[in-house]
Structure 1
Amino acid sequence: MERDHFDYVVVGGGTAGCVLANRLSADGRHRVLLLEAGPRDRSPWIHLPIGYGKTMFHKTLNWGFYTEPEPNMHDRRIYWPRGRTLGGSSSINGLIYIRGQAEDYDRWAAQGNPGWSWREVLPDFIRSEHNSRGRGPAHGADGPLWCSDIGVPHPLIEAIIAGAAELGVPRTEDFNGGDQDGAGYYQLFTRNGRRCSTAVAYLRPAAGRANLRVEVNAHATGLVLDGRRAVGVRYRQGGSMREARAGREVILAAGALQSPQLLLLSGIGPAAELGRHGIGVVHDLPGVGENLQDHLQIRLMYRVAKPITTNDDLASLRGKAKIGLQWLLHRSGPLAVGINQGGLFTRVMPGAGTPDVQFHFATLSADLAGAKPHPWSGCTFSVCQLRPESRGSVTLRSADPFAAPVMRANYLATETDRRCTVEGIKFARRLAGTRALSHLLVEEYRPGAAVRDDAALLAFARASGATIFHPAGTCRMGDDPMAVVDARLQVRGVAGLRVVDCSIMPTLVSGNTSAPVVMIAEKASRMILADARDAAADRAASARLPAEDPARRPAPEAAEAIHRRGPGPGGAAPI
């Protein structure tokens, strides 16, 4: 088995992994290895914003997972696409830039995670961002990740915004400026009409660094452990098994499905689950794979009275040529903005203090996400409950590291989730019936006029609901027995190991997850480098102490305890 030695080994070259690779290698002091199971991001469909319709079911660029039969969804197995290329899901997603609500992060901090309040994470959102509008109190203009306006107004989206105003939902110009309420255009992770994934934004600028190595088609199979310390990673590449050693840390950034899978394969997780597959228990950590959350989207579709939709653009060679020229000459038009242009956040449940549903408005309709558009003018209203109560799990199918994990979303398991989903559909219908939209939306194609009462609407949700691609929470951050990582994202009870991806979220954020994952990776990189500096300072201070007085030197475990405890009342705030 071939072995290499690094300071940091990052498992997963996706949304978080590319950020970590850049930030950890930036000062040239540390050798960093980034492992990605998929290929390089060379497909043109990755970089063309509308191209995610082509990558949605791609056999190489997409893991193409399915849940187990969902008991509350007519026992359907729900398709869960996940990126399998540099940039991960940021290379194949819908490009929507949403941070979530301030209350989401304040809730994290209140659940035993110091340093994760909105006030404390906002600098990392700003640090990551290059907003096309320029710098502002809540926005950055110097970060690597471009967030751009759609630019040209669309008549259908304008009518939706006007209709929302009739229902008391105001127009907003910025869903990320501190107040999420409103209807408006989304900003997108694009630059000059091209996708700005984290592979483009973070990894490409770092590609020439001598201290950064990127290995693609490298499928991690498990951790190398020395007792309860992670010292490396095993992976398969080109038919050979290899091993990479980490002198400082192994960092799992494989996502909410595969980070817990790797922990379980390595003997870290619930003892009963490990024993079921004949895996020796290294550390009985009961929360690994639990707490799975996802946004369930319900898609209503309408026939549109005018040929102004993306369906129309794609229906003929003439239309395709027109939008192709728009992109080639001006980097604009449907090819440059994808499918979902507009959004809306509002409250539908009694007593909701902040928006509890989100809408994505697509100027396109198709029977499935990524499928061929309908042969008529159409649009889609997708609505999702923002903070589901239902919890699922990720477990092992077998001890085979190349087998997909077992995913149970457990959608619509609580009365609140069912009620909110139905109320979201009813709000969508009220919106479609406003004066501003009545001349454009001529027929409800799905669910259709025959579906009227609450029971029928819930049955429609069970029969047609699907993921909006936001699984999270399976390596939850916290300070209780079911937490997997602490507030510094270190795996509890295992040294030299962190998890940095969507799985660490205690609760799902109120919106799309790509921007929050970038923030998590930005914050984690600062913590990791700060810990390395502290360790180096401790070693230097220890080396300067007189040899004849060894008692003055703190034991390593005492120094670690002091570090974990953090500063005293007069010390600096946590990173």
Structure 2
Amino acid sequence: MEYDVIVVGSGSTGGVLAARLSEKESRSVLLIEAGNVYDRQDQMPDALIDPSNMSTSMPGNPNSWSLLGTLIPGVAVPVARGKGMGGSSAINGGYFERAPRSNFDDWVKGGNDEWSYEKVLPYYLRSETDHDFHNDLHGSTGPIHVHRETADRAPEFTGAFTDACKGLGFADELDKNGGGQGGVGPVPLNVWNGVRQSTGIAYLLPALGRPNLRVVGNAVARRVLFSGNRCTGVEVDVNGVREVFRGAEVVLSAGALRSPQLLMLSGIGPADHLRGHGIDVLHHLPGVGQNLTDHPELSVKWEFDGKCTQSPGRGVVTSALNWTAEDSDHSDDLEILPFVISSGDMMRVTSMAKNPKQALGALRKTSTKFVVDQARNLRRPFTVIGLQQEDSRGTVTLDSGDPTTLPKINYNLLSEESDRRRLREAIRVTAEIYNSAAVRAIGGRMTNLSTDDLATDQSIDDWARRNIFAVGHASSTCRMGSDPDDGAVVDQYGKVHGVEGLRVADTSIFPKIPSRGPNATAVMVGERLVEFFD
């Protein structure tokens, strides 16, 4: 059988695409997922339902790829990416903020006029039912339910954090999905009735009964197949058995770390790199795997006189501060997020004992000292400082021509002085928040950021290197744009330059990383791209 569309990956974008494309009864859709798929929500493990359970971030978890990434020279850490129905939308903390208008202005400047704020807003709305705001900027009939924590449910620290930010002159931003004005305010959460609203739950489960939609789980794509320069299907290992699926069009939605790998394994990418791994070059496309960006983040451990306990069914963040750094070339480039749970509780560290062999395997090549230093503070709550628009760029490259070997991921974080300078500002603002009267009144105090650490630019940079992590917002490794010679991999319709019948649809195609967590924008991309198939 030849399908009309084959989608590889059921994550934040792929799950949306498969569900929406199959709404057209005459269109046959095959969805291939490397992890488990489910017929009902009650078959899913708790980690895929409870937004406070992020045990999938732990090494060896079966719902996550066992990827390894180098953050800065000498610091290699496990990288959690969702594996299973819903992809990474099924393992995150429920943060569902849209990218601000300024980001889409930048996308349009790169030659992508179909992605202006005015053109994408209807697709944000189409994806959601917002239970707090009822106006033209919010959806009311979409599959994903969105809300913010009410004041009486927000932890004690949230009020002190908000008062401290306002005391420093930052504005109230009560609606963080209202266009992105910046300021401090409640975080929109894709959590409803205690359930993380992943694309697996919100989009795919309701679509599974359609006769024109087939979903195949435990199916790991090896490469895309071609006849000449036209894509004809996908070679897949299904439960360890090699199979070939044929389709008129194939969409790679394997994420910003796996989609470029699949392109390169299929002969599309930097020619010299492919030849170095014994792969025949189908089409030289130098931007594949380049331009890797993420949100470099720093972890400030803290404690206070109250309690910060595990709360099943709740998101792990309730408020955020967003602003633009002084003398920055980017808007909306800094963020501070106080997490309302300890990292140990959030990641359910004891879950590693359930998969000891896999956990040890995932940890084998990590930077042991870095991991141990982080582990010392697992029982304390933490605040995350994020650089939302980095100038540093990393790469995703092949480690082998063998499809079963995972890619090499080099984030190259903090390599640009402009990134270090802006993070210094964010670190100093964080210290001011914790030294404010509002936070001191509840006994708030930092435990891993001292006055000595804050003494000089160099001491701040040194502290940042000891406390850095990549949050899992990898983007732009198959960047959207009109000019392949300038690093573009797909056009603004998701079509891969230089070949026929192949698209990419996930965070890898972002021309520029969003200044907020990417999940809501990845979902919107799926909604938007559906319109380009007819």
CA contact (8 A) 2:49 2:196 kept: yes
Residues 54, 241 of structure 1: alpha-carbon distance in 2 compared, 3 angstrom cutoff: closer
Residues 523, 54 of structure 1: alpha-carbon distance in 2 compared, 3 angstrom cutoff: closer
CA contact (8 A) 2:52 2:346 kept: no
> 1 CA distance for matches of 2:429 and 2:529?
39
> 1 CA distance for matches of 2:67 and 2:241?
25
Alignment-derived partner of residue 62 in structure 1: 64
CA contact (8 A) 1:224 1:233 kept: yes
> 2 CA distance for matches of 1:288 and 1:353?
24
TM-score (norm 1): 0.84
User: Greater shift after overlay, 6-15 or 145-154?
Assistant: 145-154
> 1 CA distance for matches of 2:509 and 2:124?
17
Shift of 1:524: 0.6
Residues 403, 353 of structure 1: alpha-carbon distance in 2 compared, 3 angstrom cutoff: closer
Alignment-derived partner of residue 489 in structure 1: 494
Alignment-derived partner of residue 329 in structure 1: none
Shift of 1:260: 0.5
Alignment-derived partner of residue 266 in structure 1: 266
The 3-state SS of whatever aligns with 2:169 is coil
Matched AA of 1:193: G
Alignment-derived partner of residue 454 in structure 2: 452
CA contact (8 A) 1:304 1:379 kept: no
Residues 421, 368 of structure 1: alpha-carbon distance in 2 compared, 3 angstrom cutoff: farther
Residues 417, 219 of structure 1: alpha-carbon distance in 2 compared, 3 angstrom cutoff: same
> 2 CA distance for matches of 1:462 and 1:367?
21
Alignment-derived partner of residue 289 in structure 2: 289
Alignment of 1:91-240 (within 5 A): 91-151=90-150, 152-240=153-241
Alignment-derived partner of residue 412 in structure 1: 414
> 1 CA distance for matches of 2:469 and 2:477?
19
> 2 CA distance for matches of 1:368 and 1:276?
44
Residues 190, 250 of structure 1: alpha-carbon distance in 2 compared, 3 angstrom cutoff: same
Alignment of 1:271-350 (within 5 A): 271-306=271-306, 308-310=307-309, 334-350=311-327
User: Greater shift after overlay, 437-446 or 99-108?
Assistant: 437-446
Shift of 1:371: 6.1
Matched AA of 1:266: S
CA contact (8 A) 1:78 1:467 kept: no
Matched AA of 2:173: T
Identity %: 34
Matched AA of 1:408: N
In the alignment, which of 2, 6, 18 is matched to residue 3 of structure 2?
Answer: 6
Consecutive unaligned residues in structure 2, runs of 5 or more: 39-43, 350-374
TM-score (norm 2): 0.90
Matched AA of 2:130: N
Alignment-derived partner of residue 89 in structure 1: 88
Higher relative contact order (CA 8 A, sep 6+): 2
Residues 368, 147 of structure 1: alpha-carbon distance in 2 compared, 3 angstrom cutoff: closer
Alignment-derived partner of residue 17 in structure 1: 14
Matched AA of 2:170: V
Alignment-derived partner of residue 355 in structure 1: 332
Alignment-derived partner of residue 34 in structure 1: 31
In the alignment, which of 503, 506, 520 is matched to residue 498 of structure 1?
Answer: 503
Residues 8, 101 of structure 1: alpha-carbon distance in 2 compared, 3 angstrom cutoff: same
> 2 CA distance for matches of 1:371 and 1:468?
17
Consecutive unaligned residues in structure 1, runs of 5 or more: 315-333, 531-575
Shift of 1:68: 3.3
> 2 CA distance for matches of 1:69 and 1:166?
34
CA contact (8 A) 1:305 1:439 kept: no
Shift of 1:153: 2.9
CA contact (8 A) 1:432 1:441 kept: no
> 2 CA distance for matches of 1:59 and 1:231?
34
Matched AA of 1:143: G
Larger Rg: 1
Shift of 1:364: 2.7
Cα RMSD (Å): 1.9
In the alignment, which of 468, 474, 477 is matched to residue 474 of structure 1?
Answer: 477
CA contact (8 A) 2:53 2:346 kept: no
Residues 348, 430 of structure 1: alpha-carbon distance in 2 compared, 3 angstrom cutoff: farther
> 2 CA distance for matches of 1:375 and 1:459?
18
Shift of 1:52: 1.3
CA contact (8 A) 1:304 1:377 kept: no
> 2 CA distance for matches of 1:55 and 1:435?
35
Shift of 1:257: 0.6
Residues 371, 420 of structure 1: alpha-carbon distance in 2 compared, 3 angstrom cutoff: farther
Matched AA of 1:400: D
